[in-house]
Amino acid sequence: MSRIAYVNGCYLPHGAASVHIEDRGYQFADGVYEVIAVRNGVLIDGNWHMDRLRRSLSELQIRMPMATPALNVVLCETARRNRFRDGIVYLQVSRGVARRDHPFPSADTRPALVVTARRTPPIPAKFVEEGVAVISQPDIRWGRCDIKSISLLPNVLVKQAARVKGAFEAWQVDGDGFVTEGASTNAWIINEEGHLITRPVENTILNGITRRRLIALAKVQGIVVEERRFSLEEAKLAREAFLTSTTAFVLPVVQIDETVLGNGRPGSNTAMLRQIYLDFVAEKALKTG
């Protein structure tokens, strides 16, 4: 079956879906996006994704392409037409189509909306059971990483550097030696006291929805969460480390650059946190699916 995309009001086969050559997303990366996990046909934390989408658009002075309830219908319908129950939906909103010029076009320019959806294979069991490696890379991104911009070239470059070195992810490091986040994930460590440590919400990181949910779940369990900066050196000395994202959920990190963490195996705290998150997703899908 051909995959189906939604493009500016129409559901189309992928092969027929297109955007205008002067769409500002294509010309300037002038737009934002969201990736939402789907389980049992349910958008996981869809409301939080919509909140973040509205914020990103507001920061760029782009209008919502439609009302939130209507957009939710489009997201669910795109997933339904692609005939899967577990996967992701991707939505992208650009400022729209206008003659190529750096300043914003006229206020009546209509935002462009593209939605795609697909099944996603589960994270390989080996990654969960054995953990993954990350490398460190200088953070060369712009100063507003809190906006989920489609301008991702620096992220692409560091992710490719990780792939070349056989690592799963790259953790980016700012000019002061502190870890910001991964190319497409949030970074976490666990100290000797069992406290979760992750960089605070600021312009240098994206406030990941999985990150946000895990903090809430951990606090319910009475786990101490420290939202503070941690250095690359502190990470290499940590008791455990892991990363979070919409597609990886909670994934143990057992090596940073050449440094093996602990005994080189995923820690019990990370395993517990992953299970807590998986239980949340399963319950959410069961209740609303």
Catalytic residue among 126, 148, 236, 284: 148
Residue 230 one-letter amino acid: F
Nearest-angstrom CA–CA distance, 289 and 285: 5
pLDDT tens digits, one per residue of 65-81 = 999 999 999 999 999 99
pLDDT tens digits, one per residue of 122-140 = 899 999 999 999 999 999 9
- Token readout for 261 is 């963490």
Q: Confirm whether 284 is a catalytic residue.
A: no
Fold of 125-286: D-amino Acid Aminotransferase; Chain A, domain 2 (3.20.10)
CB atoms within 10 A of CB 175: 7
Query: φ and ψ at 32, to 5 degrees?
Result: -135, 170
pLDDT tens digits, one per residue of 188-213 = 999 999 999 999 999 999 999 999 99
* Domain residue ranges of the chain, discontinuous segments joined by +: 4-119, 125-286
The answer to whether residue 289 scores a pLDDT higher than 50 is no
pTM as predicted: 0.95
CB 85 within 8 A of CB 96: no
Burial of 69 (0-12, 13-18, 19+ CB in 10 A): exposed
- DSSP class of residue 231? B
Fold of 4-119: D-amino Acid Aminotransferase; Chain A, domain 1 (3.30.470)
Q: Closest by alpha carbon to 207, among 270, 147, 138?
A: 147
